A and B are shown apart, each in its own frame.
Chain A
Amino acid sequence: MGVAADLSLLAHIAMAMGLIGGQLGSRLMNRQASRQETIDGLVRLTRAAAPFDQIGNVSGLLILPTGLLAAWAAGYPWLGLTTGWIVGSLALIAVLVALIFLVFRPDGDAVEAETQAAVASGEITPSLRAAFRPEGARRWAYLYGDLAAPAIIALMVVKPSWS
């Protein structure tokens, strides 16, 4: 069990680093893109966000299986689902996954559509600027998206004794 526990934990941490790095990179690229003055500069940076998105997506898909595997290999009963901080992490992930489908992907599609329209018109349009600025509840969704992964890492590191 020792080697399996070590390898699954390493894989899980690698996925966590991929997820955080991908998410952070994508946010930084899109933030810089939204501040560009030319459509060429904006498109260049939104395209540069793509590798970060890919890394984040792959890591996001694998982080849960590797986490459950690590919990199993470390000897947690029921894949860790009876342990408070693991359940807390899973709850945070579940909300994040819901937001991906309900907010982040539709917003990404909207930005892409506005970008295509702006490229056709040859300049950054007001609607493209607006697409980069989530309003109302969507802003809270993005704030949650930014804070969920660090919160999960905090739970993983500190392992508070809720169980």
Chain B
Amino acid sequence: MDWDGIVKLLHVGIAFGLVSGLMGRWILLTRAAASDDVEAAHGLAKAASPFEQMVQIAGTAILPAGLLTAWIQGYPWLGLTTGWMLVSTILVLSMVPLIPFVFVPRGRIFEEAMGAARERGSVTPELRAAFRDPQVAFARRYELAAVSIVIVLMVLKPFA
């Protein structure tokens, strides 16, 4: 196998990791939000953490791996003069601000609400509200939509 194949495989592997992480996190947090037992909700939210880590690691690595793949495959300017690669890059970069502006601050609020709910021994309205946070819900849907569009672009390679 040549470098072209190895780097492309790495990029595809990272993409699979990202999709698996998004899927797993979605499934477990949806179940946690639906739970009426605070310990069950906590257990499921905790179980989602490996998926969250996958999203963070794969989300960070996917763009460098993609640019490296484009470079090794001989695309000029790391592929950024190729329509579908440019759009994909913009979509991936557009997810970055969600971390400092949504996930980190809202995650702190969620942790506080979960801690307080566990102390009281019941699912509090604050915890319910944290699970249903519209900003987080929007950010997660945006991530899913952006990743889906990027996958379609990678496969179909339109407006080359």
Contacts and interface: CB of A to CB of B under 8 A. Distances in A.
A129 B116 CA distance: 33
A154 B8 CA distance: 10
Interface of B: 1, 5, 8-9, 12-13, 16, 19-20, 23-24, 27-28, 31, 39-40, 43-44, 47, 50-51, 151-152, 155-156
Contact of B151 (A13, A45, A52): A13
A48 B31 contact: yes
Report whether over half of chain A's contact residues are helix, strand or loop; otherwise say mixed.
helix
**Interface range, A side:** 20 to 34
A25 B24 contact: yes
Interface of A: 6, 9-10, 13, 16-17, 20-21, 24-25, 28-29, 32, 40-41, 44-45, 48, 51-52, 55, 150, 153-154, 157-158, 160
Contacts of A29: 47
Given A10-B155, A158-B1, A160-B1, A25 B27 contact: yes
B155 A9 contact: yes
B16 A153 contact: yes
Given A25-B27, A158-B1, 19 more contacts: A6-B155, A6-B156, A10-B156, A13-B155, A16-B16, A17-B20, A20-B19, A20-B20, A21-B19, A21-B23, A28-B50, A40-B39, A41-B43, A48-B47, A52-B27, A153-B12, A153-B16, A158-B8, A158-B9
Given A20-B20, A24-B20, A55-B23, A157 B8 contact: yes
